[in-house]
Structure 1
Amino acid sequence: MRTVVFDLDGTLADTSGDLLAAANACFQAMGEGDVLRVETDAGTALRGGKAMLTLGLTRLGRMDAALVDSYYPMLLEAYGAAIDTHTFLYPGAMQAVADLSAMGYGVGICTNKPEALAEQLMASLGARDAFGALVGADTLAVRKPDPEPLFETARRLGGDPAKTLLIGDSVTDRETARAAGVPSVLVTFGPSGEDMAALTPEALLHDYADLPDMVQDLIGVNR
């Protein structure tokens, strides 16, 4: 089986609002109020909790790696408690997933979000059952851009890891696909969309309606 593997944050869904709210809960606990804003910091939100804490503390002139580590568990707890208040699936994403499944592709998720939170979010969005496998940041001993999580996702789908394709939105996803020796498609509608062309993926995705044909061109059975 050929497989199509999706990143989650910034690729399938815009999770930046809820991620930033969780980080701001930490800054509020420090007595600083809301330090991060969706309008300016959505791209950092999609790089993870520690990236948000680092940005906020740097902005405050209080950057300390130990402080980042100490507040990270609080951020995860706050995020889990309000994981889908502002989050939304990108238009057409789930139709594209359904179309790919109908075409015979195995479809899964490989994310650097902790597995339990990724499972919780996809279930809360009513989208988990559309994916045959989900591998998170802590599912294995390594995470993206190491290629092994991508390979493991393909294997769990019953596919050949050499015949997969990664859909993502970041340099991490591009490097993961390159390390795996497989094609990557980067979306342009996320917070960092204008930067994706410079990463030279095999394709850029502007609209999920175009994805099934794009997948056929890149890893279809006639390739």
Structure 2
Amino acid sequence: MQTVIFDLDGTLADTSGDLIAAANACFQALGHGEVLDPLADALTAFHGGRAMLTLGFERLGVDTSDVVDREFPNLLVHYEQGIDRHTVLYPGAIDAVERLRANGYAVGICTNKPEGLAELLLMRLGIRDLFGSLIGADTLPTRKPDVAPYAASVERAGGVVGKSLIIGDTVTDLNTARAAGVPCILVGFGPEGSGVARLNPDALLDHYDGLDQIVARLIGHPVLV
């Protein structure tokens, strides 16, 4: 079965506002203000919690050798508490997922967000049931761009790797696809915008309205019986 695997943060949903808020909560608890800007630092948010903490503490002139690892668990607590306050799905994302399902494609998610947080966010957004699989950063011993999480996301959705592709927003997703030997679509509406074209993905998606045609071109149409 042809299978489409989505990244989550920066691909299906803009989660940057809640991620930045969680990092700023850490800085505020230590007596600092809101060190990170929700708009200017959105791209850093999609590089993960440690990247946000590192950037913030560097701006404060704080040695990051120990403090980032110490504050990371606190960031996860803050994030869980406010996981869907600012997060929004990208326009047309869920309509596109529903069209894929209706046309016989299997769909799943492979993310470097911890599985429990990914589950919680998808439940809060009311879309968990649309995806046949969910593999997070801690589901397996490895994470993207290692091929194992991607392969698991395809297989648990009911597909086979050789008839699949990944949709993402960063070089991590591209490298995952290359490791798996499958096509990669990168979105051009995430924090980096059309700048992701520099990575030379197999296709660039400007809006979810155009996803169907790209998927069919890259992995074909399912045979409906």
Structure 1-normalised TM-score? 0.98
The CA distance in 2 between the partners of 1:133 and 1:117, in whole Å, is 15
1:58 Cα deviation (Å)? 1.0
Segments of structure 1 that go 5 or more residues without pairing to the other structure are none
> Which letter maps to 1:174?
L
Mark the runs of 5 or more structure 2 residues left unpaired by the alignment: none
2:140 maps to 140
- Measure the CA separation in 2 of the matches of 1:15 and 1:140: 23
Q: What residue in structure 2 maps to residue 195 of structure 1?
A: 195
1:15-94 matches, cutoff 5 A: 15-94=15-94
Does structure 2 retain, via aligned residues, the 8 Å contact 1:167–1:185?
yes
CA distance, structure 2, for counterparts of residue 65 and residue 121 of structure 1: 30
Structure 1, residues 78-115: CA drift from partner, whole Å, max 9, x if none?
00001000000001000000000111111000000000
Instruction: Report % sequence identity.
Output: 60
Contact 1:12 1:89 in 2 (8 A): yes
Q: Deviation digits for residues 167-219 of structure 1, max 9, x if unmatched?
A: 00001111111111100000010101232100000000001010011100000
**Aligned pair 1:119/2:119, yes or no?**
yes
Distance 2:194 2:221 in 1: 31
Distance across 2 between alignment mates of 1:100 and 1:41 = 33
Matched, 1:159 2:155: no
Any idea what SS the aligned residue of 2:177 has? helix
Q: Give the structure 2 partner of residue 108 of structure 1.
A: 108
What is the aligned residue count? 222
What amino acid sits opposite 2:21 in the alignment? A
The answer (yes or no) to whether the contact 2:132–2:158 under 8 Å persists in 1 is no
Asked if the contact 1:54–1:63 (Cα under 8 Å) also holds between the matched residues in 2, the reply is no
User: Corresponding residue for 1:216?
Assistant: 216
**Alpha-carbon offset, residue 221 of structure 1:** 4.1
Does the aligned pair in 1 maintain the 2:115–2:138 contact within 8 Å? yes
In the TM superposition, what is the alpha-carbon distance from 1:2 to its structure 2 partner?
1.1
Counterpart-to-counterpart distance in 2, 1:39 and 1:168: 20
Q: Find the aligned partners of 2:193 and 2:166 in 1 and give their Cα distance.
A: 16
Give the Å deviation of 1:159.
0.8
Normalised TM-score (structure 2)? 0.97
Contact 1:186 1:196 (C-alpha < 8 Å) held by counterparts: yes
Which amino acid letter does the alignment assign opposite residue 194 of structure 1? S
Whole-angstrom distance in 1 between the partners of 2:210 and 2:221: 18
